[in-house]
Amino acid sequence: MSVAIIAEYNPFHNGHIYQLKEAKKRWPNEEIVIIMSGKYVQRGEIAVASFEERSKFAIKHGANRVIELPFNFATQAAHIFAHGAIEIINKEKIDKIFFGSESNNPKRLMLIARTIKDNEDKYNKLLKKYLKFGYSFPKAAATSLEHLIGNPIKMPNDILGLEYCKAIVNNNYDITPHTLKRTISFHSEVPNMQFASASYIRSKIFKNEDVSKYTPMKFEILPERIENYYDEFQEIVKSTSAEKLSKIKLISEGMENLFKKHIDAKSYQEFIERTNSRRYTSSRIKRVMLYVLLEIYE
Q: Is the pLDDT of residue 138 over 80?
A: no
Q: What average pLDDT is seen over the chain?
A: 93
Rounded to two decimals, the pTM is 0.91
Predicted local confidence at residue 188, as pLDDT: 52
Q: Which phi and psi (to 5°) does residue 41 adopt?
A: -110, 175
Q: Is 65 helix (H, G, I), strand (E, B) or coil?
A: strand
Query: What structural domains does the chain harbor?
Result: 2-107+155-206 (3.40.50.620), 226-293 (no CATH)
pLDDT digits (tens, 9 = 90+) for 182-208: 755 555 565 677 899 999 999 999 999
Average pLDDT over residues 87-107: 96
Q: Select from 180, 104, 116 the least CA-distant residue to 142.
A: 116
In contact, 121 and 67? CB cutoff 8 Å: no
> What's the CA gap between 234 and 65, in Å, rounded?
39
User: What kind and span of H or E run contains 36?
Assistant: strand 31-37
Greater confidence (274 vs 187) lies with 274
> What's the CA gap between 202 and 45, in Å, rounded?
12
In contact, 4 and 94? CB cutoff 8 Å: yes
Average pLDDT over residues 278-293: 93
Which range scores top for mean pLDDT: 36-40, 99-103, 108-112, 123-127? Answer: 36-40
Q: Is the pLDDT of residue 274 over 60?
A: yes
Greater confidence (70 vs 123) lies with 70
Helix 255-262 and helix 282-293: axis angle, to 10°?
A: 80
Task: Specify the DSSP class assigned to residue 292.
Answer: H
pLDDT digits (tens, 9 = 90+) for 147-157: 888 777 777 78
Predicted local confidence at residue 256, as pLDDT: 96
